[in-house]
Amino acid sequence: MRDLFIEKMYELSKKPYQKFFKKGKAWDIEINQLIQLPNDSLGFHLGCFLLKFNFEIQPKLEDHDIIHVLTNTGISVVEEIGMQYYLYGNGKRSLYLIMVIVSGTLFYPTRFSYFKQQYQRGKQAHEFYRLDFLNMLSIPLTHIQQTFNIQ
């Protein structure tokens, strides 16, 4: 039940977040273009991630799925909250991120050790959340992960 509540909160907040808080330009790329990139590239892995979960590219929110790929984070509600802890550990600060962390901690207090572990993983990585991922799509995924110590 709480998973459904959190998912509904995300769905309700996604459009206003895209419109009012995400200032960047939407990527002009399709999934079929991503999977035509080299098999070891970030873009290819992003395309596979999107296809695996039957997702579409969300305009102005493309970085979110890139973070899933880079950090090898799943898509369950708890894993999504954990990814926000990871980003917090990596230095990202935003109202949306804080809201997810606070609500996630309140709704899943028994998962706090997992959230703390994700935070520590984010701290160990070099800051990467601000990178221009669109221009990195052809770079090998493992090269990016090794360069930024993304575990």
Phi and psi torsions of 98, nearest 5°:
-65, -40
User: Can you tell me which residue has the tokens 């993304």?
Assistant: 150
Task: Summarize pLDDT for 119-142 with one digit per residue, the tens.
Answer: 999 999 999 999 999 999 999 999
Residue range 63-114, pLDDT digits in tens: 999 999 999 999 999 999 999 999 999 999 988 899 999 999 999 999 999 9
Work out the average pLDDT over 13-20: 62
Looking at residue 20, its pLDDT comes to 59
pLDDT for the residue numbered 8: 67
Q: Helix 2-16 and helix 77-89: axis angle, to 10°?
A: 60
